[in-house]
Structure 1
């Protein structure tokens, strides 16, 4: 006799992805197009605001502009941010240069990793922003695209821009659009009976997966680990973090749980670098090589030190039919975030592993500055 079917949502969570309305792109689709444009180096036209050209990826090599939009943290490094602005490192700041900026001259202004090679900059002055919501949206779009949060403002010769509105972001972040697209048996080292479940939404290219270990039981809270993608740690075996060992240990803990009649769910979230993207994470590593810790490195780039999307994890659990969990984490803020997203955390299960000479400072920073419960 075969194994009984695992309880699932009534429609198995599998539904067709939404189609674009005949009236034109939806707000969420416009965000997706804007993110794609930034990765390609194309300009954006912010409704109610200026045209913005991404400095890092911009392909309009003849473009020039008198103003740049950068982060408060970057402006503080350039001695241009006031105390209030500097308190929010990823807030937008508008700066004006004495000479028109080109993409080539703007890049050292945008990228703090180039400071040692390009120490002399300016003179610049900060100016008030009359389009604050659009400026904040632009920096958030840059983070989603995984590029430096820095733009040329209303540049000449920018090329045809892609239109997007600041309010469109709320629609793109609507997690109800996430769907299960397929599921299959996937034997892994920790468990030969594991099942993998893939999730996707129409307007977000990131495809998240869940690995279910053991027999799903609707009345038993599973052991759950929210694991954000880490190419360097998970795949390359980086010693700078503890991601790879944590992933492996979590899967084996779930297999042990399953052997005792319980079950576990590993949510693998495509949120590299705690939500700032692979390239920006590597930029942060370069700043760490210069002596900055992981929090300061992110902030110096003008990016949040924590930008993960925990509601997407809650939506994945909802689609799996999970309402209550035992969460493997050392981070109390993660417990609060997932509970705020509608998931009941029956227990926080510590998940600390030994450090090594390369990640000891990183773990100490997580403990001392990010509030992780580490000994």
Structure 2
């Protein structure tokens, strides 16, 4: 028997490519204007739709060099609005009347309350690769995937945050590669007293992922493993809208009963869209959309999660083969694609209730979950 590896590693200097993206994320969340620079040297000055008001739009316009600000949205959001081609990843929307704060809000936010403004004449065109990465940056910031942009902008402000589009595109993979163990402690759990929690942090100091290790897994054998995306509402509050709380507690109990295993608690709230956007999706579900279509209304893919962090955590624990507790075939395929052998899929099913029955049915019929 070979126990898993839990040694903390030294903190390595964060690559500048990660630092620049982290700074850009923080700036967008504060409502600032970020310059995204493409491979060809072209610049897209970027303001998130959520931060668009008269003052911020006026400031953005100062970067224009004969071009009008446009709203960059995902192809999914554009199609919801009836303005996008089926194969467009990101679409630029322009208005003859200009992009006012009211127009931006109406185009970007399906949860907007109150009467919607008259949008006037709108046109759509494919966005540049640089503008597409500006939208990706908004996703990384856990904001609505819509940004007001000035393409081919006029220079930089002296103190403006700048980021390379290529660094934004590679950010999630690069942060996963830099994960390291930063702390661990014995944490006895109800029904699993022989448990430890191990924290993993990326080099740029971003959000930690956690591993709950129960017992003493033998890494020479496939380790019973659960990948669990954090769910504030289900895990902590006991929300009945999903089955996350049941899955978390049930996985801990099943691993303890088996004698050993690992639960990875991944910082991917709301299938990767973040808590605030998940609450927006809930509002849309209350209006009649299912869980997938609610995400599409917001402009997200039906599942924005990536699995490089989970694979890297398992490698750092010296786990190369797992018995994966999941109903989601995508997780099996993604772990395998990232170099972790899935020796067996272990079903992980719990009874439905009146509040999550439709949600679970959607996962089965539209996302291919196996129940």
Q: TM-score, normalised to structure 2's length?
A: 0.89
User: Could you tell me whether the CA contact under 8 Å between 1:29 and 1:172 is conserved in 2?
Assistant: no
User: Could you tell me whether the CA contact under 8 Å between 2:47 and 2:148 is conserved in 1?
Assistant: yes
User: Could you tell me whether the CA contact under 8 Å between 2:292 and 2:302 is conserved in 1?
Assistant: yes
Q: CA deviation at 1:99?
A: 1.8
Number of residue pairs matched by the alignment: 353
1:15 aligns with 2:30: no
Q: CA deviation at 1:116?
A: 7.0
Residues in 2 aligned to 1:365 and 1:127: alpha-carbon distance in whole angstroms: 33
Q: CA deviation at 1:121?
A: 2.4
Residues in 2 aligned to 1:60 and 1:316: alpha-carbon distance in whole angstroms: 45
Partner of 1:52: 46
Q: CA deviation at 1:205?
A: 1.7
Residues in 1 aligned to 2:359 and 2:346: alpha-carbon distance in whole angstroms: 21
Residues 280-325 of structure 1: CA deviation (Å, up to 9, x unaligned): 1111111111111111110111111111121110111111111111
Residues 72-112 of structure 1: CA deviation (Å, up to 9, x unaligned): 22222322112333xxxxx2110111222233441122101
Residues in 2 aligned to 1:353 and 1:7: alpha-carbon distance in whole angstroms: 31
Residues 151-199 of structure 1: CA deviation (Å, up to 9, x unaligned): 1112999975321111103155222210000111001112112011110
Farther-moved stretch of structure 1 (221-230 vs 168-177): 168-177
Out of 268, 271, 274, the position equivalent to 1:274 is: 271
* Secondary structure at the counterpart of residue 99 of structure 2: strand
User: Could you tell me whether the CA contact under 8 Å between 1:179 and 1:199 is conserved in 2?
Assistant: yes
Partner of 1:371: 368
User: Could you tell me whether the CA contact under 8 Å between 2:215 and 2:256 is conserved in 1?
Assistant: yes
1:80 aligns with 2:74: no
Out of 345, 350, 353, the position equivalent to 1:353 is: 350
* Secondary structure at the counterpart of residue 101 of structure 1: coil
Residues in 2 aligned to 1:55 and 1:357: alpha-carbon distance in whole angstroms: 36
Unaligned 5+ residue runs, structure 2?
Answer: 62-67
Q: CA deviation at 1:60?
A: 7.4
User: Could you tell me whether the CA contact under 8 Å between 1:40 and 1:58 is conserved in 2?
Assistant: no
Residues in 2 aligned to 1:60 and 1:266: alpha-carbon distance in whole angstroms: 47
Partner of 2:239: 238
Residues in 1 aligned to 2:115 and 2:225: alpha-carbon distance in whole angstroms: 45
1:35 aligns with 2:25: yes
Residues in 1 aligned to 2:113 and 2:365: alpha-carbon distance in whole angstroms: 27
1:144 aligns with 2:140: yes
Query: CA 1:69–1:115 in 2, change beyond 3 Å: closer, same or farther?
Result: farther
1:121 aligns with 2:122: no
Q: State how 1:196-211 maps to structure 2 within 5 Å.
A: 196-203=197-204, 205-211=206-212
Q: Which runs of 4+ in 1 moved over 4 A?
A: 155-160
* Secondary structure at the counterpart of residue 83 of structure 1: coil
Residues 309-345 of structure 1: CA deviation (Å, up to 9, x unaligned): 2111011111111111100001111101011111111
Query: CA 1:123–1:116 in 2, change beyond 3 Å: closer, same or farther?
Result: farther
Q: State how 1:283-298 maps to structure 2 within 5 Å.
A: 283-298=280-295
Partner of 2:309: 312
Residues in 2 aligned to 1:74 and 1:172: alpha-carbon distance in whole angstroms: 22
Query: CA 1:343–1:198 in 2, change beyond 3 Å: closer, same or farther?
Result: same
Partner of 2:64: none
Q: CA deviation at 1:16?
A: 2.3
User: Could you tell me whether the CA contact under 8 Å between 2:73 and 2:147 is conserved in 1?
Assistant: yes
Q: TM-score, normalised to structure 1's length?
A: 0.88
* Secondary structure at the counterpart of residue 295 of structure 2: helix
Unaligned 5+ residue runs, structure 1?
Answer: 86-90
User: Could you tell me whether the CA contact under 8 Å between 2:212 and 2:264 is conserved in 1?
Assistant: yes
Partner of 1:96: 94
Residues in 2 aligned to 1:249 and 1:165: alpha-carbon distance in whole angstroms: 43
* Secondary structure at the counterpart of residue 53 of structure 1: strand
User: Could you tell me whether the CA contact under 8 Å between 2:226 and 2:263 is conserved in 1?
Assistant: yes
Partner of 2:227: 226
